[in-house]
Structure 1
């Protein structure tokens, strides 16, 4: 009978890559857990662990043996298994041999369709001890390791050298061998605190025993510990800790015994734009900056140490010495950059290619100047400011600061523009050119910023599409998908009634003739395709979005208005019937050629039902046209909903495919006009169940 107990598997390594640690820990545990389920060991709940020097999984309860099972393997039909003399055929002998039995041992399976040879056998369940090594190996092989490495003179490969392997079932070690290391009870503690190694007495004691040896093995627990300590320190200083989840997790991936400490730098460095200082603190040193309620950067910062030092002043002093040269570099770059205006850097943009077939960054700057001006006219923004910001927006790429800290491009352009005496509108627009940079990011706060941001994205989309380098699969080196989504957000959330076709054509016109292929339709369709996921994330049904997309409205605000009206209309009592009727109309028209301009001749009506439908359509046509023109699609759909009764009566009593061809064509023309009325909002036929 199978025994049940906890199972621990720990891989002890050299320091693992911090940016990958969380995914390595999660996926190793998921892979092994799934493998144990597939192998029928019935594992219960599990907990995963990941610290800089270990990956582990603890399963609360698992069987040490698979259950026994019975197999049934049907062989050839008896009529084909033996010849006329009763001797087994080659097919029967081969089947028996494949099952490890003599043909005489085969059983018979009788059904109403005939009789077959049958082999039944009980399969003894395998033990966890015999299977665990291969299951661990399979779990490790599935990990997303970009560059596996070898160490010493071994042929083994892993993301980092492996030093220990612990596989325990309850209090017993399960024999296994990986990377040339045999499993044992030995666990490594903290690199500097406590015992270097110790023996574990039971799998369930893993986490608590490690804590006694200065290792917080749980990734989530370390994150929570660090977050709590950061907040406590910051609150005590009446400051706000500036960190993201990504930074917090990266810090947690660098330490096993986190201790939050406080340090500072000279106040003179605060004269440097805070974004550059914050960037170097976070990205280079993994420090946590502190801000006041007004967003002003403090010269006090927090950092997380991996040791509980008896001489904390030495640790603090060491970290202050490390950050000082980085801040001094930023100060030097800032002061050096201020000696030259942004405008003076435009010529230097000539030395940097945007794309070899699309010219230099200077060429792009000139295109952005003109395109931002064109968009300004469409949005009632200040054209002079928009053009000035478009021309200067890439100039900070030639500054020392941005060359050293690329993440602050645009931001530094704003500071340098202010220093040069440019208007605040121009300075703000230079910073806003990259917005939104990611999902949920802020949008430009000014219309001038909107113009420059739109110009930058449209210029890239049109240019890259125009030389035939649209994204393929997961490859999108120019981030065109992000640019398309950003374009939609900029237009929709700013509530500007802009047309994508006009914008794309205007952007393409900024390139010299012959540079680009005619790609307006492709670019517009690419942008509209991004709408689907955005609108679905807002809670709109896929078929609602599809119904509108078929009509291809190229004004994003119009697209959204149609989707929202149609989504609300789904709850109307007439909705399902109208969806179905439209599907029926679409099917009829798809099988019969009808001139879309064909007039309906009321003299050819034979039945009251077709007369009534036509009359109701005529009565609502003008109102529908007015509502569609004013984008009141809810009212448009309400007007169309009033046609439900005459449409139902028409299909109940009117034979569209009449024997008289003239009558038939007239009825088809009537349905064609009916479909056109509905298509003025969306193709609701795709919404029929």
Structure 2
């Protein structure tokens, strides 16, 4: 058995940059899994991805599949032979199918009986015979939403395929994949080495690529880019505006990265930095620079795909390209400032939010009213929140935002400051879009939080109110994201708000527009359901979340305290026993007939164990009451953990369903008191 390095490379036209890393990871995973499934042993794999190639190296790969023994079980012995000991038709048919006689079959003896058994040694196939099919299968499994065809062939892939290389050690593995035959030619850099090169050994792949001006290792190429831009940024006295997605995209666009810096006219710095950053990053894939105070510097860094003998020409060319784009941003900013933000609000009547719910102007009016009320509930400035809510969408009618949609909210903040709006209004306008994605910043001002909550509530209540709830993966209004963002604002901001009251305020603002039944209950349930997703991402056990959801606390901060308390309780020694006891109590009470007394009659407590439990419940209740009043659910549950021993003793020594009706009802009332103690916090009977 030989063990060599295998190289599989798919040479293509330029691959989509944003998809490159995912395609590479998927190809590597698919091929390595297929090799394992087909009994090929190997030490490790390494992936390569550049704009015009996907490749995988497999190290110390066996030259053929491992031999294996195949066992095929036949009919049971009592079915395989008749009373005279002769083989039955079932046994003969099975044996014939395996190419043996019944007499040649072995026996398999287990605790459950005895069967006929056929064992065959299957010799492993050579790698060369199965590799082309494995590679083709790995490529078919790639996440390609829209494959394309090229030329006159029938092959389909994400981009036209130019070369296929399957090299095992120094041996070419023959085969045709996607209408291209395997050969040892690999593509070089499109400009520095268009002739490519011939690969002699699979182990030489990375060095061979670099000899034709290609850094094939995605991570290595990315590190070269990061090091290069940071070095230039330090020389220019600033730091790069962080954007890992942009770094990944640029890494996928170049084969031989070279970092260069350029500058632009300081006059453009009169424009807010956000649209300048957007145009540099999104349009040109440049890396803008900021100083230590977060102010934009009149410079940027870019990555070129060639090592020029005259880089000044490349720098000059990029400076010429960026100038008109920055000039456009400057023109839009100056033009927008001529119209006050408040004067743009009426124009929002021409922008549709949703045909049944009206325009963006209608939405702004609702947000303003609800935001003001929420801010008042928080003891914040309701006037500021209401004004910010009224203006929060006005920049959608500004030329800058029409050109650069990513700047909505940000430009509203800048224009509000320019217009001399009251302190707090510009910040709240900006903050009302937060959080925009998972892990994003949250509003820092209570007025900003009020507007953000009102905006998200308006979307949730409105869309639920016309019956367009999310179904499956379809969520065109991003209601799930809005719900989690709303919960994060309340919980992490520690705002004492109740979902029932919030949804009621928002629902009222729609007047008679909403047509669906049970809107308030459905929206609150939807919001509570988002807690499950949010907490699971934090590693909280599902049964802990379910235990709290069972009590349906509608104050998010309170919900969060309960989840943390149950999580700690779950780690106590008494937790399992008390959860099981609560489950048992729940089942007993569910079967109880008639109405139970509210108070336990001490004179009917006759058994020592039930007397002890009644006393323990009374003590635990007193200990937990003060903790509950302070919202300290962790301390309350900890005090209830002391009930484990008296509860266990009760169930070991007391018959709940006593013959005497009064005694039975009294014992059920005692158990009900026990259960109610825990239900004040969560239903721990659902804990596993």
TM-score, length-scaled by structure 2: 0.95
Aligned to 1:681: 681
The 3 A distance-change label for structure 1 pair 53 and 598 is same
* 3-state DSSP of counterpart to 2:552: coil
Aligned to 1:298: 297
The 3 A distance-change label for structure 1 pair 471 and 86 is same
Aligned 1:189-228 pairs, distance under 5 A: 189-194=188-193, 196-228=195-227
Aligned to 1:180: 179
Q: By how many angstroms is 1:222 displaced?
A: 0.6
State how many pairs are aligned.
686
- Higher mean displacement: 284-293 or 465-474: 465-474
Aligned to 2:599: 599
1:367-395: CA deviation from partner (whole Å, max 9, x where unpaired): 00111011011111111111111011111
* 3-state DSSP of counterpart to 1:71: strand
Q: Is residue 247 from structure 1 mapped to residue 246 from structure 2 by the alignment?
A: yes
1:323-359: CA deviation from partner (whole Å, max 9, x where unpaired): 1221121112112211212222222211122112211
Aligned to 2:107: 109
TM-score, length-scaled by structure 1: 0.94
Aligned to 2:647: 647
Q: By how many angstroms is 1:615 displaced?
A: 3.6
Q: By how many angstroms is 1:644 displaced?
A: 3.9
Q: By how many angstroms is 1:156 displaced?
A: 0.8
Asked whether the equivalents of residues 597 and 665 of structure 2 are also in contact (C-alpha less than 8 Å), the reply is: no
Counterpart-to-counterpart distance in 2, 1:145 and 1:110: 47
The 3 A distance-change label for structure 1 pair 223 and 669 is same
The 3 A distance-change label for structure 1 pair 594 and 619 is farther
* 3-state DSSP of counterpart to 1:346: helix
Asked whether the equivalents of residues 484 and 527 of structure 2 are also in contact (C-alpha less than 8 Å), the reply is: yes
Q: Is there any run of 5+ residues in structure 2 with no aligned partner, and where?
A: none
Aligned to 2:484: 485
Counterpart-to-counterpart distance in 2, 1:546 and 1:440: 24
Q: By how many angstroms is 1:189 displaced?
A: 0.8
Q: By how many angstroms is 1:472 displaced?
A: 2.1
* 3-state DSSP of counterpart to 2:224: helix
Aligned to 1:259: 258
The 3 A distance-change label for structure 1 pair 539 and 27 is closer
1:479-527: CA deviation from partner (whole Å, max 9, x where unpaired): 1111111111111111111111111111111112251422222211221
Q: Is there any run of 5+ residues in structure 1 with no aligned partner, and where?
A: none
Counterpart-to-counterpart distance in 2, 1:89 and 1:97: 12
Q: By how many angstroms is 1:582 displaced?
A: 2.2
1:529-579: CA deviation from partner (whole Å, max 9, x where unpaired): 222343344454433333222211111111122222333334545444433
Q: Is residue 611 from structure 1 mapped to residue 646 from structure 2 by the alignment?
A: no
Aligned to 1:39: 38
Asked whether the equivalents of residues 594 and 672 of structure 1 are also in contact (C-alpha less than 8 Å), the reply is: no
Q: By how many angstroms is 1:590 displaced?
A: 2.7
1:294-321: CA deviation from partner (whole Å, max 9, x where unpaired): 1111111000000001121111121112
Aligned to 2:161: 162
The 3 A distance-change label for structure 1 pair 117 and 286 is same
Counterpart-to-counterpart distance in 1, 2:7 and 2:596: 72
Asked whether the equivalents of residues 594 and 668 of structure 1 are also in contact (C-alpha less than 8 Å), the reply is: no
Aligned to 2:525: 525
Counterpart-to-counterpart distance in 1, 2:76 and 2:443: 76
Aligned to 1:447: 446
Counterpart-to-counterpart distance in 1, 2:597 and 2:332: 69
- Higher mean displacement: 118-127 or 555-564: 118-127
Q: By how many angstroms is 1:79 displaced?
A: 7.1
* 3-state DSSP of counterpart to 1:509: helix
Counterpart-to-counterpart distance in 2, 1:362 and 1:166: 60
Aligned to 1:142: 141
Aligned to 2:565: 565
Asked whether the equivalents of residues 88 and 103 of structure 1 are also in contact (C-alpha less than 8 Å), the reply is: no
The 3 A distance-change label for structure 1 pair 563 and 120 is closer
Counterpart-to-counterpart distance in 2, 1:122 and 1:245: 53
Counterpart-to-counterpart distance in 2, 1:33 and 1:624: 57
Aligned 1:528-539 pairs, distance under 5 A: 528-539=528-539
Q: By how many angstroms is 1:608 displaced?
A: 3.5
- Higher mean displacement: 648-657 or 474-483: 648-657
1:411-468: CA deviation from partner (whole Å, max 9, x where unpaired): 0111111122212311111111110111221111211111110111111111112222
The 3 A distance-change label for structure 1 pair 614 and 83 is closer
Q: By how many angstroms is 1:476 displaced?
A: 1.7
Counterpart-to-counterpart distance in 1, 2:37 and 2:453: 51
The 3 A distance-change label for structure 1 pair 607 and 68 is closer
The 3 A distance-change label for structure 1 pair 340 and 655 is same
Counterpart-to-counterpart distance in 2, 1:63 and 1:645: 61
The 3 A distance-change label for structure 1 pair 594 and 314 is farther
The 3 A distance-change label for structure 1 pair 33 and 644 is closer
Counterpart-to-counterpart distance in 2, 1:590 and 1:398: 60
Asked whether the equivalents of residues 604 and 666 of structure 2 are also in contact (C-alpha less than 8 Å), the reply is: yes
Q: By how many angstroms is 1:619 displaced?
A: 4.7
Asked whether the equivalents of residues 92 and 103 of structure 1 are also in contact (C-alpha less than 8 Å), the reply is: no
- Higher mean displacement: 624-633 or 193-202: 624-633
Q: Tell me how large the CA RMSD over aligned residues is.
A: 2.3
Aligned 1:665-680 pairs, distance under 5 A: 665-680=665-680
Aligned to 1:281: 280
Counterpart-to-counterpart distance in 2, 1:242 and 1:596: 67
The 3 A distance-change label for structure 1 pair 486 and 117 is closer
Counterpart-to-counterpart distance in 1, 2:190 and 2:291: 37
* 3-state DSSP of counterpart to 1:424: coil
